Structure 1
Amino acid sequence: MTIYSLYIFDRHCTCVYYQDWHRTKRPKPAVEGSILPAVSQVISPVAISDTATVNASTFNNSPRNTLSSSTGIVIATNESVARSTPPLPPPSSTTLVQQQQGASSAGLPFDEEAKLVYGVVLSLRNMVKKLSGRDESFTSYRTSTYRLHLYETISGYKFVMLTDPKTDYLRFVLRQIYAGPFIEYVVRNPLVKMDSKEYGIDNEYFRTSVDRLVRGLSVFA
């Protein structure tokens, strides 16, 4: 049993926080402008100007052909080496992806992944209310590969955790994250702009506290 990832969505259906632990495939960085700043450094989009800077610095420092750039494209050529060495075949699309994102990152861009997660939560929550009435609430569901846990606050924030399908009910853990680190380092922090539609809540103290709480669970392996 283990814990994969944690998402926090605000009342505007926007992902304001993300953290993962045992994911075998990291999500790709989001497209620039598609997510709020300061959601997570892992999935922060890279601006085109930043990519150009990386390419330029590698071009100036590399003495021969290289595929070590973040884009996975040949960005430097040494003419003397190229004349004495037979030309190499162009890299395959798989090589380009691995150079750009790493071999362990083969999922959707994070903005698309977050929309899918929220869409599933919203659809199942509405279905439960229509079938069972307002007294019932959607809190969890299980598939053959993962289990989703949901805790929704009165203010409209939704805490979503993905775990191993054999993991027990962890809604109480999400409530602990809300009542503890979230209240202490986000709600009571005057430097965090709540409900601003401009920034996420990637507060260093909040992230560290969440990580410590999750790693201390018996189901964390």
Structure 2
Amino acid sequence: MTIHSLYIYDRHCTCVYYQDWHRTNRPKVAAEGGMLPAVCATIYPTSQQPEANAGTTLTFTSPRNTLTSTTGVVVAVSDSQQQPAPLLQANPTSVGTSSSGLPFDEEAKLVYGVVISLRNMIKKLAGRDESFVNYRTSGYKLHLFETQTGYKFVMLSDPKADSMRFILRQIYVGPFLEYVVRNPLVKMDSREQGIDNEYFRASVDRLIRGLSVFQ
């Protein structure tokens, strides 16, 4: 069993964060204007890179590539956190990974559309007290956790994996609240850019890699 990817959507139906681990077909670079900056550097069009903060560069390593973010996102830390978080280690299994999938902006819209459609269908058929938490196909299992503020955490995993809803909630109450909600330099509920930053991405990666289902 394994975990494939994580999407975070805001209340405007926009994907504001993406991260993947075990994917044989990675999404292609998004179309020009198809996604917000600071969602995931590997799928952000190079020609769209912001120029306002070109002098500020944050470099971090993802499970697949070495990424360079020029979004100028800085994380506010306390005195006890003066040392930067450990950088993510490259995933050796990612060598030769195909990128023959859909452009990321199209993929993100399809994932969100499936989640909303199934959620609405369940409420109409089973009543408003019922909620959609996951569904399974022969190739993957989709898990959903929705916050009171409208953020939707969506994870794709191996179809045999148990419910990951508690993990999504753990991401929300842990790294998300710590490095995004409580960070005064992150624009929450913004239609201008995503919520990606080095500390949040590294913390999520450590949490996921520490799970027993992660291989």
Superposed pair shares fold, TM > 0.5? yes
Higher strand fraction (1 or 2): 2
What is the aligned residue count? Answer: 169
Question: What one-letter code is carried by the residue in structure 1 that aligns with 2:29?
Answer: P
Q: Deviations over 1:30-69 (max 9, x none)?
A: 01211111000111113289xxxxxxxxxxxxxxxxxxxx
Question: What one-letter code is carried by the residue in structure 2 that aligns with 1:216?
Answer: G
Give the Cα separation in 1 of the matches to 2:196 and 2:181.
Answer: 13
Give the Cα separation in 2 of the matches to 1:121 and 1:168.
Answer: 18
Secondary structure of the structure 1 residue equivalent to 2:176: helix
Counterpart check, 1:205 vs 2:199: yes
After the TM superposition, which segments of 4 or more aligned residues of structure 1 sit over 2 Å from their partners?
none
Aligned-pair RMSD on alpha carbons?
Answer: 1.3
Structure 2 unmatched runs, 5+ = 50-95
Question: What one-letter code is carried by the residue in structure 2 that aligns with 1:11?
Answer: R
With the length of structure 1 as denominator, give the TM-score of the two structures. Answer: 0.75
Given that 1:29 and 1:44 are in contact with CA atoms closer than 8 Å, whether structure 2 keeps it comes out as: yes
Give the 5 Å matches for 1:61-100.
none
Aligned to 2:111: 117
Given that 2:24 and 2:97 are in contact with CA atoms closer than 8 Å, whether structure 1 keeps it comes out as: no
Deviation, structure 1 residue 110 = 0.1
Counterpart check, 1:164 vs 2:161: no
Give the Cα separation in 1 of the matches to 2:179 and 2:130.
Answer: 31
Give the Cα separation in 2 of the matches to 1:48 and 1:142.
Answer: 36
Question: What one-letter code is carried by the residue in structure 2 that aligns with 1:174?
Answer: L
- Of 147, 154, 161, the residue aligned with 1:153 is 147
Given that 1:32 and 1:46 are in contact with CA atoms closer than 8 Å, whether structure 2 keeps it comes out as: no
Aligned to 2:185: 191
Q: Deviations over 1:178-219 (max 9, x none)?
A: 000000000000000001110101111000000000000000
Q: Deviations over 1:159-190 (max 9, x none)?
A: 00000000011100000000000000000000
Given that 1:8 and 1:160 are in contact with CA atoms closer than 8 Å, whether structure 2 keeps it comes out as: yes
Deviation, structure 1 residue 138 = 0.2
Larger Rg: 1
Q: What is the percentage of aligned positions where both structures have the same residue?
A: 77
Structure 1 unmatched runs, 5+ = 50-101
Counterpart check, 1:181 vs 2:211: no
Given that 2:26 and 2:97 are in contact with CA atoms closer than 8 Å, whether structure 1 keeps it comes out as: no
Higher helix fraction (1 or 2): 1
Given that 2:23 and 2:97 are in contact with CA atoms closer than 8 Å, whether structure 1 keeps it comes out as: no
Aligned to 1:22: 22
Deviation, structure 1 residue 103 = 6.3
With the length of structure 2 as denominator, give the TM-score of the two structures. Answer: 0.77
Question: What one-letter code is carried by the residue in structure 2 that aligns with 1:215?
Answer: R
